[in-house]
Amino acid sequence: MQPTKSKSTRYQPKGLYITAAILLTISVAFNVSDQFADEWFDSFTNGLKGASPIQWRDKDEALSEAKRTKKPLLYAFLARHDNASLQMYGDGFHDQKVAQLINQNFIPVRVDFNSRDYDHKSKLYTKLHNQYGYTSTCQLLTVPAHMTDMSSSDLESSANLSEACIDNTAGLERGDRYNHGYNSRYRSGCVRSDGLGFTYNSPKFIGYTNKRELLDYLYGAQHWHRLPPTKGKVAWLPLAVASTSLTSKPRLIAFVDNAGSASDNMRLDTFWNSRDYKLINKEFEPVLVEFRHGDAAFNEPLEKLKEKYGIATLPALVIDSSNLAAPIVQFGNSNSVSTHEFLKSAVNKAAAKL
């Protein structure tokens, strides 16, 4: 008998296999993390990508270059999915005049981040945020070469009257520098068109308005903290006096930095206050010891005087006299009232030979 030929009637569900494969692929695609998905779609959706006429550096390279050239750093904080950042990058940074001004006068560093992903920030973003307290999704921050270790409040502070826009010093002499009218008259072009801040005399430019105001900011920011801070109206004696023999008249030695909000406050609130500078000029031999922040070679001879009185941080006031058993020291910047009391107390102690 010939063998019977048979054909299997078992169903082969090829269509089901194909459908399952498609569903599996979709499932995998939709279950990957948001971070991975953003990275995958980045090349298609990131408006901050692409060539730019600005010569960007990384942070370490920028810090080395700033130390060598003394040019200020310009940090550009830009966020994806943020309209102001996209306008800053597309309209502002691609303008030839803006790019030329930045390349010639600043050391630019871009700090990009995803405004929708607050859990996965870059190490650079986190470090700069901790140092400068960055809060805006679009911001420029100018950091002078000698102030790269300072905080945002130090960067924004200035004891140069021109930089601080103090045109009327009457308030300073009254001991009320926030009420002397220097901001009661805005010069043309100073106020931004959106009303959010100024386009001059500030290390920060938050958000984006237009190229004209961006240029105004850059023109001013390149000179920020380049002018010397005020010495007030104290009749300072030469630095050499600090090393001479003491007399019965108390000697006031003021140790200050040329940058930083604490030293700036002492310069503006004490050295300009008529109540204080008149007392100092009458009762003391005043000597100003000015440090240059970040300039170790210049500061080296001043450090010895600083160590003599056990001073670790600036500013500080030292009062010494042949009538005193030991120097009297005010460490750090106290408020103006406390400083005035310190000065009066020192005069009384020297007179009583305590």
The class of domain 59-221 in CATH terms is alpha beta
Distance CA 188, CA 296 (A): 41
Distance CA 266, CA 251 (A): 18
Has residue 177 got a pLDDT over 50? Answer: yes
What H or E segment, with its residue span, contains residue 108? strand 107-114
| Cα dihedral 95, 98, 101, 103 in deg (nearest 10) | -60
Burial of 60 (0-12, 13-18, 19+ CB in 10 A): exposed
Contact by Cβ (8 Å): 277, 343: no
Q: What is the DSSP letter of 233?
A: T
* Domain spans in the chain, listed from the N-terminal domain onward: 59-221, 239-352
Segment 222-251 mean pLDDT: 93
Of 57, 44, 50, which is closest to residue 89 (Cα–Cα)? 50
pTM of the model: 0.78
Segment 261-280 mean pLDDT: 96
Has residue 307 got a pLDDT over 90? Answer: yes
Segment 221-233 mean pLDDT: 92
Q: What is the pLDDT of residues 34-46, one digit of tens each?
A: 444 444 444 434 4
- Asked whether the domain spanning 239-352 has the same topology as the one spanning 59-221, the reply is yes
Distance CA 160, CA 217 (A): 18
Distance CA 289, CA 264 (A): 14
Has residue 274 got a pLDDT over 70? Answer: yes
CA 201 to chain centre: 13
Q: Which fold has domain 239-352?
A: Glutaredoxin (3.40.30)
5: Cα within 13 Å, side-chain hemisphere? 0
Segment 121-147 mean pLDDT: 82
Q: What is the pLDDT of residues 241-258, one digit of tens each?
A: 999 999 889 999 999 999
